[in-house]
Structure 1
Amino acid sequence: MFGSIYSESPLWSQLRRLEQELDEAFGAGTAWSGGIRSLPPGTFPAINVGSTEEGVTVYLFAPGIDAKKLDISIQQNVLSINGAREEPAEEQGTYYRRERFAGEFRRVISLPDDVDPDKVEASYRDGIVQIRVSRRESTKPRQITVQ
């Protein structure tokens, strides 16, 4: 009635064949080669960018990275974050799948024109780097009272 749990349905066979064809067409170094959950190159670490009237906040999700070794710089409203994730190699083991990114990375984020590059703060907690860039005082909205 249910069949063996080890038998593969025709649909799964077709999906596996499609994945193999995509690997052949685009090369083994693409996002498809790691499976459906793999990230495309250049998207590690994941980031969120939010904006308020006060400034722009960037969250960099970087578990396992030494925050002191990150190189964070801002120039002409472009925020650059460079670093590396080291992963010890298992010399005696065989990997069947490796989804965790290891190696050097670089993320570049364009910021709005009204940010103040002299007012940047960065903090690290629980694997998340938070970078806050304030807006220039002259561009912040101000309330004008009528007399």
Structure 2
Amino acid sequence: MYPSLQSHASGVFGDFERLRRELDDVFGLGTAPTSIRSAGPGAFPALNVGHTPASVEIYAFAPGIDPDQVEVTLDRGVLTLAGERPSAVPEGNEKVSVYGRERLSGRFKRAVSLPDDVDPDRVQASYRDGVLHISIGRREAAQPKRITIQ
């Protein structure tokens, strides 16, 4: 790219990035101090990620998935969910005409970056009513402590 075009393009993109950060701050969408990050809306499965003083809580909304076919891994502060959701419409059936397909199917993989204080030895996962709940404990040293004044 020509130098004058390159500086102009980076200036425009820099302006857009600055505007996006300002809008995120106005609407409360900025990076949380816990540094938990995930993808935006529309990814599958949809995730809710939050925390308590003692744990990080992840809820993956995955109806129609066999929990035995979901792989959950935690490696170096990144939680990964991978698996496959089968199609609800039988493939190769000549008698079925599909007019719309709104339910996502196929392989999926989601990754969530977690705070540094999670304890990989304190992970629990359960699946109920189409919701995969993963709870990851935080290290004791990271827990808030009340200090008694003498």
TM-score, normalised via structure 1 length: 0.69
Find the aligned partners of 2:142 and 2:56 in 1 and give their Cα distance. 13
Find the aligned partners of 1:73 and 1:59 in 2 and give their Cα distance. 15
Asked if 1:117 is matched to 2:120, the reply is: yes
Give structure 2 stretches of 5+ with no counterpart.
1-40
Alignment RMSD = 1.3
What secondary structure, in the 3-state scheme, does the structure 1 residue paired with 2:68 have? helix
Match of 1:129 among 132, 135, 143: 132
Runs of 4+ in 1 over 4 A off after TM superposition: none
Find the aligned partners of 1:96 and 1:68 in 2 and give their Cα distance. 31
Find the aligned partners of 2:143 and 2:118 in 1 and give their Cα distance. 10
Please say which structure displays the higher CA radius of gyration: 1
Taking only the aligned residue pairs, the percentage that are identical comes to 48
1:49 alignment counterpart: 49
TM-score, normalised via structure 2 length: 0.68
TM superposition shift of 1:75? 0.5
Q: 1:1-147 counterparts in 2 under 5 A?
A: 40=42, 43-87=43-87, 88-89=89-90, 91=93, 92-147=95-150
TM superposition shift of 1:146? 2.0
> How many residues align structurally?
107
